[in-house]
Amino acid sequence: MFTPTADKLMPDLTPRQELVVLARALWREGYNDHLAGHITVNLGDGTLLCNPWLLTWAELRPSQVLRIDLDGRVVEGDWPVPLGIPLHLELHKLRTDVGWAVHNHPLFGTVWADLAEVPPILDQSSALGGGTLALVDEYEGPVNDAASARRAVEQMGGASMALLAGHGVFVLGGSARAVHQRAVALEQRCQHAWYARAAGGSGASRVPQAFIDLVARSDGEGFLGFWEAAVRAELAAHPDLLD
């Protein structure tokens, strides 16, 4: 009898490889605002992995991933640091429990951020990333300003996801699997809520609140197979991606 385990569903990946596959998988899910968007991985030694500026998530490769310190200086790599990296730097300084952080401007998440409104969860798949969603009035200064970035992180509190008003979304987790699931579920939540509103729906959810509360307490790690399927899809589309 087949027992599903992660090692049977995808190859072992280094953190750099995981970051690249995550970026490409989320690009397919709508996290594709041209050159915008940052992913960071806390290595636990005062440094972070991050994608560089000037490359889209759809073309990123492991050799192009940067290692930077918490002041945004390049430790390893040959590309510039993303312009909006202070949001991530301040996050990792204030919340050392966060291993992975994703910021981008997906269409539906950004629309709700523009409205400064938190969309309802209307279906079970939209809840499956777990965690809590906060609305943050992020535009108190430019995105490359450390002080405004720190205020945004402080306003986020202990939430694992945020709609940054007038800006985009911020998704946190303990692993690539967790942030992938959360980011996909968040954009689905925002998309379905928008379509339901456009269709004249009441916005009332038929998903039991007990289920929503239960899933919200999860760490995003429990859906074995979801992340692995995304990894397989990227490697099938780009067989040399990990070379």
> Quick check: is 1 in a domain?
no
Contact in structure between 109 and 168 (CB atoms under 8 Å): yes
- pTM of the complete model: 0.94
- Of 238, 227, 181, 230, which Cα lies nearest the Cα of 59? 238
- Of 196, 209, 187, 199, which Cα lies nearest the Cα of 33? 187
> Quick check: is 231 in a domain?
no
Q: Write out pLDDT tens, residues 25-47.
A: 999 999 999 999 999 999 999 99
pLDDT for the residue numbered 1: 39
Residue type (1 letter), 224: L
pLDDT for the residue numbered 7: 61
CATH of the domain at 12: 3.40.225.10
- Of 141, 187, 147, 192, which Cα lies nearest the Cα of 167? 141
Whether the per-residue pLDDT at 88 is higher than 80: the answer is: yes
3-state secondary structure of 26: helix
Spatial separation of the C-alpha atoms in residues 58 and 110, rounded to whole Å: 20
- Partnered with residue 146 across adjacent β-strands are none
Mean pLDDT of 199-225: 84
Residue type (1 letter), 55: L
Whether the per-residue pLDDT at 4 is higher than 70: the answer is: no
Residue type (1 letter), 98: V
pLDDT for the residue numbered 179: 97
Residue 10 banded pLDDT, cuts 50, 70, 90: confident
Spatial separation of the C-alpha atoms in residues 133 and 142, rounded to whole Å: 23
pLDDT for the residue numbered 5: 58
3-state secondary structure of 75: strand
Q: Write out pLDDT tens, residues 137-178.
A: 877 777 778 999 999 999 999 999 999 999 999 999 999 999
Point out the least confidently predicted range of 26-35, 65-74, 201-210. Answer: 201-210
If you search the block for the tokens 């509360």, which residue do you land on? 213
Residues of the chain above pLDDT 70, percent? 96
> Quick check: is 66 in a domain?
yes
Contact in structure between 14 and 91 (CB atoms under 8 Å): no
Burial class (CB in 10 A: 0-12, 13-18, 19+), 22: buried
Mean pLDDT of 192-208: 90
| Domain count within the chain | 1
> Quick check: is 206 in a domain?
yes
Helix (H) or strand (E) holding 89: helix 86-94
Spatial separation of the C-alpha atoms in residues 114 and 99, rounded to whole Å: 27
Contact in structure between 49 and 41 (CB atoms under 8 Å): yes
- N-to-C CA span, the chain: 33
Mean pLDDT of 79-105: 95
What mean pLDDT, rounded, does the chain reach?
Answer: 92
Mean pLDDT of 187-200: 96
pLDDT for the residue numbered 2: 39
Residues of the chain above pLDDT 90, percent? 77
Point out the least confidently predicted range of 33-37, 57-61, 127-131. Answer: 127-131
Whether the per-residue pLDDT at 121 is higher than 90: the answer is: yes
Tokens standing for residue 232:
């397989």
> Quick check: is 153 in a domain?
yes
Tokens standing for residue 87:
């949001």
> Quick check: is 242 in a domain?
no
pLDDT for the residue numbered 205: 85
pLDDT for the residue numbered 138: 78
> Quick check: is 97 in a domain?
yes
> Quick check: is 234 in a domain?
no
pLDDT for the residue numbered 6: 58
Domain that holds residue 115: 6-226
